[in-house]
Amino acid sequence: MSLVAQVDRATRPASGRGRRPGELTGGAALGLGVGVLWLSLLVLLPVAAIVSTAFDDGLGGFWDAVTDPEALAAIRFTVGAAAFVTLVNAVVGTLIAWVLVRDRFPGKRVLEVVIDIPFALPTIVAGLVLITLYGPSGPFGINLVGTRAGVVLALLFVTLPFVVRSVQPVLIDADREVEQAAASLGASGFTIFRRVILPTVTPAVVSGAALSFARALGEFGSVILISANLIGKTQVSSSYILKMIESQETVSAAAVATLLLVVAVVVLVVLDVLQRRTARRG
Amino acid sequence: MSRTTTPAHRPDALAGGPSGIVVRGVHRRFGDFVALEDVDLEVRPGGLTALLGPSGGGKSTLLRIIAGLDHPDSGSVEIGGRDATFLPPQRRSVGFVFQHYAAFTHLTTARNVAFGLEIRKRPKAEVRDRVAELLELVHLEHLADRLPSQLSGGQRQRMALARALAVQPEVLLLDEPFGALDAQVRKELRDWLRRLHDEVHVTTLFVTHDQEEALEVADEIVVINDGRIEQVGTPGELYDHPANPFVMSFLGPVTRLGGALVRPHDIEVLTDDRAGAVRVEVTRLLRVGYEVRAETRADDGSTPWVQLTRAQVTELGLVEGRTVWLRPLVDTPFPAAGLPADASGPVAGPAAGCPDRVPA
Amino acid sequence: MADVLTPDPSAPAAASRPAARPPVDPRVRRARRRTTRTAWLLRLVAVGYVLALVALPVASVVQHTFADGVAPVLDVLTSEDFLAALRLTAVVAGVAVALNTVFGVGMGYLLVRYRFWGRRFLSAVIDLPVSISPIVVGVALILVYGTYGWFGGALEDAGIRVIFSVPGMVLATVLVSLPLVLREVVPTLEEAGIEQEQAAQSLGANAWQRFWRITLPTIRWALAYGVALSLARSLGEFGAVRVVSGSVAGESQTLTLYVNDSYQEFGADAQRQAFAAAFVLMTVAVVLIVVIAALRPEEDKA
C-alpha cells in the first residue's frame, strides 16, 4: 500500500467509490447455490474423503501410516527441502525483485519474462529442462539426477517467481520519499535498507515465501525425473502418496495426503492473518 | 522589466553566517525542460523564508537541491558556511519535511521521531527525553504509540516535523508541507508553524504555491517563476512594491484600469469626473463576505473591478447601472499588457465567501 | 542498497560559471548515476541466478531437441500418439478453462458484490486446491469418484466413468487451476465499484445488459489475464492428471504424460519424442507468458 494511497484514504471519506455490497437476491442466491454445489463436488467432498479415509483404520492406523519409515523419510526430506528452498527464495527473490524495480539495464524486459517461465512451464517439462543441463549428459559434467541437490534445484526452479512477484509490486508502490526522509535524517544506504525498506517489504516476502513453501511441499512433476525416486533419499511426499495409491494402500496415501493438506491450510490461514494485519496497518 | 535577484544591499558577509543557505548560479534541466536557470539565493540564518511560485516554477527542485535529494547541473550550495554541493543528504544537516509526510508506516509516532537519534546511536535515555520533548512541542504526546495510519493528515505532518527537528538540523526545509491537508487544518498548522518557528529559531525554508500562506507566515518571501527568482523581500515589500507584473498579480488581486495594473482595493470611486479618472458603468455588485465587489465596464471595453466595503457602497449610493469614475489611489508602475489575460477579471480574492447580491 | 541517494562526498565545490546551456558537471553526473558497486553486484547475482536456473536449461532443451535437425522432430509431431495426446490435451484444457472462466466470473461477482454467511470460508476453499500437491488432488478425486470411492460405484452403475477417463482428467485440471480467473477478476471488480452498474440500472438496463455492457468490459483485461494463466496451468498439468488418467498411449495420455512416459522409456526414439513434445509445450508456455506480459499493462490502463 503506497503512502499516497494512505493519504487518500485518510483524507477522503471512507465510502469512496460505492462499495456497498448487497443482500443476496433471487438470481444471486441461485448462482451462489450452483457455485457452492460445484465447489462441494470438486473440493469439499474430495478433501473430506481424504481426511476420512486417513482415519479409516482409526487414529492408530493414521499414526502407523505417517510413521512408516519410508513415509517418514519422504516427509522429512520434503519438509526440509521445502524449508531450505523457501529460505533461499526469501533472500534471492527479494534481491531479484529489487533489481527489477530499482535497477535499469539492457535486457531487463527479457529477465522479467524469463522469471515467469517457471510459472507457465509444465512441471514435467521443467524437470526435463533441468535434467538436460544438470543431468548425466549435461554440458557441465554435473549430474544431479538421484541427488537431493537435484530435487532442491527443481524446487528452486518452480518456486522462483513467488517471492519476486509478491515483493515487486510493494517495491514499486514504496514511497521513495520515505527513503529520502531517512537519508536526510542521516541514515546510510544500508541503514535505509534495513530499517525502512525491509520492514516495508517483509509482509510481502513472508507471503511469497509461504506460497513457495506450500508449492515446494506438494511439488511432484518437476522433481520426478531428477529425483529418480530413491526411497529414503530423494523420494518426496507426493511420490510416496502416488506409490501408495497405485499399490492400493489407500489409508497410507490418504494419511500422508492429510498431513500435506493440514500444512497447506495452515499456510493459507497464516497468509490470511498476515494480509489482514498489513491491510490494517496500510 | 528588471528581474530582482539577490538584493544587492544585503552584505555578503552574512553569507558565511552560522546557518544560512547560499545558493549560487544553480542550473537544473530535466531533458529539455529548464527547471532552474542561474538561481542565486541567500537565506538569512534563523529566518522563516517562503519559496513562493506557481507549480512547475522550480521551487521544489531548488529545495530538493538544497537538501541533496537532487543535484544541480552547475552551481553551488552552501549550508551554514560549508560547501554542500556534493555532500550526500545524510551529511548536510538539513531536516526535510515532505508534502505527503513520508512517514515510516511500520513505526509508531515516537519511533518515527526517534529515528534520526537512534541512527546516531544516542543513549536510550537521551532519545526518550528528546522524543518526549519534541512530541510535546508538536502536541502529539498523547499519540506517541499510534502508527502513522492511525493519525490524521495534520497529525502526521506534525510528526514529520518533529522527526526532522529531532536531529537538530542547521536548516529545516519544508516542501509544500500543508499541500495535502484540507483548508481548515492548513490554516491551523500555518499559525502553528509560525509560533513553532518563534520558539525554535531554526533557519526554515518552505515551499508553497499559496500566496496567502506565504504572506501570513514568512519573514521573507522568494518568488520563483519559470526557473528564475522574480523577487525577494518581506511580505510587505512584495505586496506594496512588486518588482514586476508577475509578482504583483501572483501576490494579490489585480485589475486593469485605464491600461494599467492596480489592486482593486487601491481604487477610488468618484461620483463626478476628475483628472485621471476613468468613466465606467457599474455592471454588477457582488457581496462576498464582508466586502463588496463592484464590477464595471469602461468605455474602452475593459472591465475593471473595485473592492469596497458595504459602508462605502451605501455612502456612494452605488447601484447597478450607475455611471461613476474610477481613479487609482497609488502609482501604477505596470501597464496592463504585462498581465496574463486570465488574471484581469475579478479573480477569487482572499476572501472568497458566499457571494450574495447587494440589494439595489 | 539505497546508494541511489548517495553522491560522491569527496568531491570539492563546483566553480563552473553558468553558460546558456551549461554542461552538467561530471561529479554531478556521477552523483546522479544509479549504478553503484552494490547495484552492480546485485544485478550480477540476480541475472546470474535466473540465467543458471531458468534461461540456460531452457535454451539447452531447445538445442537438445534440434540436435539432429528438424526432420526427426517433425516425425514425432506427426505421429499418431503425439497427435492423440495433443487432441486430448486441447479438449481437457479447453473444457477446464471454460468451466473455470464461468465459475471465476460468476463466483467472483458474488464474492465482491454480496455479503452472505460463510463468504470468507468459501473464498478460502477456492484457494485450497492450488495450495496442495497435485497428487493429493488426484488422490482426493479417486477417493470420491474412483471405482471404490464414495460415488464411483453408483456412477459406474449409471454408466458414467470418471476416473481413468476424460471427465476425471477434466475435474483434476479444473481443480488445479480453480482460483486463477477468480483471483484476477475480484480486485478489478472491487476497484470498479458498484456505481457504474447502478447508473446503468437507473438508465433502465436489466441484469443481463448490465453484465454485458458494464461489468464485462470493466473486467475484460483482468479476465483475459486470468484465462491465459489458467490455460497455461491447464495445458501443463501433470501430477493430478497422472493420478486419475491411467495414461494409456493414444487414449488417456495428455502431452505432459506423453513427455513423461516417453522419457521413462529407454532408447533414442523415446528420448526424441519426449524432447519434441516438451519443446511444443515450452513454446506454448512462452507464447502465453508473452501474451500475459502484454496484457499486464493493458490491465493497468483499463
Phi, psi of A108, deg, nearest 5: -65, -35
The pLDDT of residue C301 is 41
Q: Does the pLDDT at position B205 exceed 50?
A: yes
- Per DSSP, the residues of B278-297 read EEEEEEEEEEETTEEEEEEE
What local confidence, expressed as pLDDT, does residue A7 receive? 34
Q: CA C284 → CA A154, B53, C76, C231, C255, distances in Å?
A: 21, 56, 17, 10, 12
Q: Tell me the C-alpha distance between B248 and B91, whole Å.
A: 39
| A186 interaction partners in chain B (CB closer than 8 Å) | 90-91, 116, 119-120, 167
pLDDT score for C251: 78
What's the average model confidence in pLDDT over A85-94? 96
Q: How far apart are CA C298 and CA C220, in angstroms?
A: 10
Residue of A6, A182, A199 with shortest CB distance to B149: A6
What is the pairing mode between strands B171-175 and B94-97? parallel
**pLDDT for A237-249, tens place per residue?**
999 999 999 898 9
**Where would I find the H helices in chain B?**
59-67, 109-119, 124-137, 153-166, 183-200, 211-217, 235-240, 245-251, 310-316
Instruction: Select from C146, C145, C139, C137 the least CA-distant residue to C176.
Output: C137
Q: How far apart are CA C275 and CA C64, in angstroms?
A: 8
- Which residues, other chains included, contact A191 with Cβ-Cβ below 8 Å and sequence gap of 6+? A182, B119
Chain B residues touching residue C5 (CB < 8 angstroms):
69, 88-89
Of B277, B292, B288, which Cα lies nearest the Cα of B324?
B277
CB pairs under 8 A between A and B: 97
Question: C-alpha distances in angstroms, A148 versus A73, A81, A144, A224, B82?
Answer: 13, 8, 8, 12, 61
SS (H, E, C) chain C: CCHHHCCCCCCCCCCCCCCCCCCCCHHHHHHHCCCCHHHHHHHHHHHHHHHHHHHHHHHHHHHHHCCCCHHHHHHHHCCHHHHHHHHHHHHHHHHHHHHHHHHHHHHHHHHHHECCCCHHHHHHHHHHHHHCCHHHHHHHHHHHHCCCCCCHHHHHHCCCCCCCCHHHHHHHHHHHCCCHHHHHHHHHHHHHCCHHHHHHHHCCCCHHHHHHHHHHHHHHHHHHHHHHHHHHHHHHCCHHHHHHHCCCCCCCCCHHHHHHHHHHCCCHHHHHHHHHHHHHHHHHHHHHHHHHHHHHHHHHHC
What is the pLDDT, as a whole number, of residue B300?
86
Q: Which residue of B has its CA nearest to A180?
A: B69
Are C245 and C169 spatial neighbours (Cβ–Cβ below 8 Å)? yes
pLDDT reading at B49 higher than 90? yes
Which residues of C fall within a CB distance of 8 Å from B83? 12-13
CATH superfamily, domain at B12-245: P-loop containing nucleotide triphosphate hydrolases (3.40.50.300)
Touching A (3+ Cβ pairs <8 A), the chains are B, C
The one-letter code for the residue type at A82 is: A
Residue B346: predicted pLDDT: 41
Q: Is residue B358 very low, low, confident or very high in pLDDT (cuts 50, 70, 90)?
A: very low
Of C289, C38, C27, which is closest to residue A102 (Cα–Cα)?
C38
Contact B76 C14 (CB under 8 A): yes
Residue B350: other Cβ atoms inside 10 A: 12
Phi/psi of residue A136, nearest 5 degrees? -60, -35
pLDDT of residue C33: 62
Average predicted confidence (pLDDT) for chain A: 86
Say what the pLDDT of residue C19 is: 42
Which one of A173, A185, A188 would you mutate to disrupt binding with B, by most B Cβ within 10 Å of its Cβ? A185
Closest CA to B325 of B298, B307, B303: B298
Helix (H, G, I), strand (E, B) or coil at B272: coil
CB atoms near residue B273 (< 10 Å): 12
Mutate to test the interface with A, among C35, C92, C130, C139 (most CBs of A within 10 A): C139
Per-residue pLDDT, averaged over B196-203, amounts to 88
pLDDT digits (tens, 9 = 90+) for C232-250: 999 999 999 999 987 777 7
Contact B90 A178 (CB under 8 A): no
- pLDDT band, very low/low/confident/very high, at A119 (cuts 50, 70, 90): confident
Q: What integer is the mean pLDDT of A262-270?
A: 85
- Rounded CA separation B348/B212 (Å): 12
User: How far is the CA of C139 from the CAs of B97, B152, C135, C242, in angstroms?
Assistant: 60, 54, 6, 10
Is a pLDDT exceeding 80 seen at residue A282? no
What's residue A3's pLDDT? Answer: 33
Domain boundaries, chain B: 12-245, 255-357
Question: Does B69 contact A180 at a Cβ distance shorter than 8 Å?
Answer: yes
Q: What angle do CA C150, C151, C156 make, to 5 degrees?
A: 130
Residue of C131, C173, C175 for testing the chain A interface, max A β-carbons within 10 Å:
C131
Per-residue model confidence (pLDDT) at position C22: 57
Which of residues 100 through 129 in chain B touch A, CB cutoff 8 A?
100-107, 115-116, 119-120
Domains for chain A: give ranges and CATH numbers: 60-281 (1.10.3720.10)
The continuous run of DSSP H or E covering B82 comes out as strand B82-83
Q: What pLDDT, on a 0 to 100 scale, did the predictor assign at position C158?
A: 87
Neighbours of B16 (CB within 10 A): 12
Q: What confidence score (pLDDT) does residue C214 get? A: 87
- Strand pairing partners for B225? B228
Model confidence pLDDT, tens digit, residues B132-178? 999 998 899 999 999 999 999 999 999 999 999 998 999 999 999 98
Look up cell 524449508; give the residue: A83
pLDDT digits over B243-284, tens only? 999 999 899 889 988 888 899 999 999 998 888 889 999 999
Angle formed at CA A241 by CA A236 and CA A246, multiple of 5 degrees: 130
Residues (pLDDT < 70) of chain C are 1-23, 30-35, 296-302
Here the cell at position B9 is 544591499
Which domains are assigned to chain C?
Answer: 3-63 (no CATH), 69-301 (1.10.3720.10)
- The reply to whether ipTM tops 0.95 is no
Residue C239's Cβ-count burial label (10 Å; 0-12, 13-18, 19+) is buried
Going by pLDDT thresholds of 50, 70 and 90, the confidence category of residue A21 is low
Burial of C257 (0-12, 13-18, 19+ CB in 10 A): buried
What pLDDT shows up at residue A155? 96
From the number of C-beta atoms within 10 Å of its C-beta (0-12, 13-18, 19+), residue B275 rates as exposed
Determine the residue among C21, C24, C36 to mutate to test chain B binding: the one whose Cβ has the most chain B Cβ atoms within 10 Å.
C24
CA B199 vs. chain centroid, Å, equals 21
CA distance C58 to C61: 5
Enter the C-alpha cell of residue B159: 510528526
Copy the grid coordinates of residue B16: 558565511
Cell numbers placing A55: 482415519
Which pLDDT belongs to residue C7? 39
Cα separation of C95 and B247, whole Å? 70
Kindly report the CATH number that applies to the domain delimited by B255-357. Answer: 2.40.50.140
pLDDT given at position B4? 40
Residue of B nearest to A277 (CA): B106
pLDDT, tens only, A128-172: 999 999 988 888 888 999 999 999 999 999 999 999 999 999 999
Under DSSP, the state recorded for B95 is E
Residues of A in contact with C44 (CB under 8 A): none
| H-run or E-run covering B27 | strand B21-30
Q: Give the containing element (helix H, strand E) for B262.
A: strand B260-262
DSSP class of B42: E
User: How far apart are the CA of A180 and the nearest CA of chain B, in angstroms?
Assistant: 7
Q: Which residue has the higher pLDDT, C169 or A264?
A: C169
Record: contact B119-A185, CB cut-off 8 A = yes
A9-18, A127-136, A201-210, C47-56: least confident range: A9-18
- With a cut of 70, say whether residue B14 has pLDDT above it: no
On average, the pLDDT of chain B sits at 85
Q: Residues 253..292 of C with a Cβ closer than 8 Å to A: which? A: 255-256, 259-260, 263, 274-275, 278, 281-282, 285-286, 288-290, 292
Q: How many CB atoms lie within 10 A of CB C193?
A: 16
Chains with 3 or more CB pairs under 8 A to chain B: A, C
Residue C16 to residue B85, Cβ atoms within 8 A = no
